[in-house]
Amino acid sequence: MSHSSFGPDAAGAALIARIAGSLYIVIAVAAVFAHFIVPDALVVVGDPATTRVQIAAGAGMFRGGIAAEMFLLMLEVILSVLLYRLLAPVNRTLALLAMVSRLIMAAVHGANLINHLAVLVLSGGTVVDVALPAAQMDGLVALFLKAHSLGFTIGIAFLTIHVFAMGVLIYRSGYFPRILGVLFLLAGVGYLLDSAALLLLPSYTTTPVYLAVPITVAEIAFPLWLLIRGLNRSRWPSPQGA
């Protein structure tokens, strides 16, 4: 297998791998708080009036969820670059595609936060007064929460490109186990089908187990491998120039 002469030496690559694994873990923790703990505590599905009241009462928590997502998106930028450095020796063009598509996801999710900020304003969680009838504010809260959900799904659609590219790169690398590449390819199928169904099928609201499992396994196995094992230094291509 031929690799381009690009990137750090094996020791530097192993360090980058462990940093990337650490970032994956921090991102996952922040994502659990922002995407699961906060909504589960404050959002009542199908009841925008109660949701608005609960967000007003828990404005600090809701604002913390926004801050957590901003933080994880900043880390996503760093992680995207580190993954590029790790996989560019396999195929620089494909690694660039993986990096750019993940960065686009981060940009979409960052812009999508405006919907949660609007919910915060409508719920009285900021100093801005909104002079609208309560029923209208309830409807707008529901609208912005739905817009945020759809915006998140659009971002994941771009992540699908990243996941497929990562699968091919990891499989071909030689310094990562091929099974991790296979897991990423299966996760890519899961992301693709799930995001397409969420955007195109109104009745589809929950990711089924058969799609969630390969996504979860891949997203756990690769970060743990990076953090614990790093990479196979003996298979890392020796740089022939800066």
26-67 pLDDT, tens per residue? 999 999 999 999 999 999 988 989 999 999 999 999 999 999
For residue 167, pLDDT over 80 is answered with: yes
Helix spans in the chain (H): 10-32, 38-42, 48-57, 59-87, 92-122, 134-173, 178-200, 209-228
Take residue 15 and report the two structure tokens written for it: 């360090």
- Cα torsion 213, 39, 99, 169 to 10°: value is -10
Take residue 157 and report the two structure tokens written for it: 């659609």
For residue 2, pLDDT over 50 is answered with: no
Q: What does the alpha-carbon distance between residue 69 and residue 35 come to, in Å, rounded to a whole number?
A: 8
* Average pLDDT score over the chain: 90
| Most distant pair of Cα atoms in the chain: their distance | 68
**Tens-place pLDDT, residues 198-215:** 999 988 888 899 999 999
- By CB atoms closer than 10 A (0-12, 13-18, 19+), residue 182 is middle
Report the pLDDT value the prediction gives residue 45, as an integer from 0 to 100.
Answer: 87
For residue 240, pLDDT over 80 is answered with: no
For residue 131, pLDDT over 80 is answered with: no
Query: Is 166:87 a contact under the CB 8 Å cutoff?
Result: yes
For residue 1, pLDDT over 90 is answered with: no
Query: Out of 77-81, 136-140, 212-216, 225-229, which region has the weakest mean confidence (pLDDT)?
Result: 136-140
| Over residues 74-85, mean pLDDT | 97
| Over residues 95-106, mean pLDDT | 97
Report the pLDDT value the prediction gives residue 6, as an integer from 0 to 100.
Answer: 53
Distance of CA 68 to the CA centre of its chain: 13
> Where exactly are the structural domains of the chain?
10-157+227-235
Take residue 21 and report the two structure tokens written for it: 């694994």
Distance of CA 161 to the CA centre of its chain: 13
Q: What does the alpha-carbon distance between residue 110 and residue 152 come to, in Å, rounded to a whole number?
A: 9
Confidence of residue 168 (pLDDT cuts 50, 70, 90): very high
Confidence of residue 184 (pLDDT cuts 50, 70, 90): very high
Report the pLDDT value the prediction gives residue 126, as an integer from 0 to 100.
Answer: 59
Distance of CA 176 to the CA centre of its chain: 22
Work out the percent of the chain whose per-residue pLDDT is above 90: 76
Model confidence, pTM: 0.89
| Over residues 12-23, mean pLDDT | 94
DSSP secondary structure, 131-160, as one string: -S-HHHHHHHHHHHHHHHHHHHHHHHHHHH
Q: What does the alpha-carbon distance between residue 220 and residue 207 come to, in Å, rounded to a whole number?
A: 18
Confidence of residue 178 (pLDDT cuts 50, 70, 90): very high
Higher pLDDT, 72 or 240: 72
For residue 146, pLDDT over 80 is answered with: yes
Take residue 71 and report the two structure tokens written for it: 């933080």
